[in-house]
Amino acid sequence: MPYYLKSIGVLTLTLLSFFVHAKGERYGGSLSMRNMNTDVHVQGESKASKMPQFGLVHTRPIDENNNRWRWWISAHYLDEQLTSPKSYIYQESKGLELRIMPQYAIASWDGVTPFMGAGVSLAYQDYSNRWQVDEQGYKYGHQLEDISQLDAGVLFNFGTAIKFGKNPNSHLQLVPQFSSIFPMNGNSVGIELSLSLLF
């Protein structure tokens, strides 16, 4: 991915953070595993299972009694190899994804706050080193043209904020989440498991 795209992603996340006004802003990192199919122009479906993503997160504390809802803003970087069982295309994907999602606290139990949320995502993907492959996965023929595409999607998720400390606004928080991803460009529905550490 071009360097300027990474810079834009970091700058966007920083600027958006100024619009989230609440007591005790939280920043952190996330690691997620995604399983979904991706349509890439006319070449058919490319399947990537357990696609790892690393991200930066900006949010605020969430609690049933204090801050019942919050914004979850995150930027994710993706670098993965993709294979297509239908059209036998191999390609490498690099992308940057931005997510904005309001989340709502369902309950609170002694430092544990389950929540649910829904939001949108916007991703830019570069597909390079593209080759036709045979049924055994061996490359042949001429290298295909590199392509790029912009993807948008809708997210629904459920998770839990685990707070280390008696204060509901405790600084150190561990946040496991399960998300369903519904791309708007015809891709298959994906699922994702993530773990974030907030400070």
Cβ distance 8 to 171 under 8 Å?
no
Q: What is the pLDDT of residues 136-157, one digit of tens each?
A: 778 888 898 998 988 899 999 9
Q: What is the pLDDT of residues 94-128, one digit of tens each?
A: 889 999 999 999 998 888 999 999 999 999 989 89
Cα–Cα distance, 12 to 7 (Å, whole number): 8
Q: Domains, the chain, ranges and CATH?
A: 3-198 (2.40.160.20)
Global pTM exceeds 0.85: no
Cα–Cα distance, 87 to 199 (Å, whole number): 45
Query: What does the pLDDT read at residue 3?
Result: 55
Cα–Cα distance, 112 to 174 (Å, whole number): 10
| Beta-carbon count within 10 A of 180 CB | 15
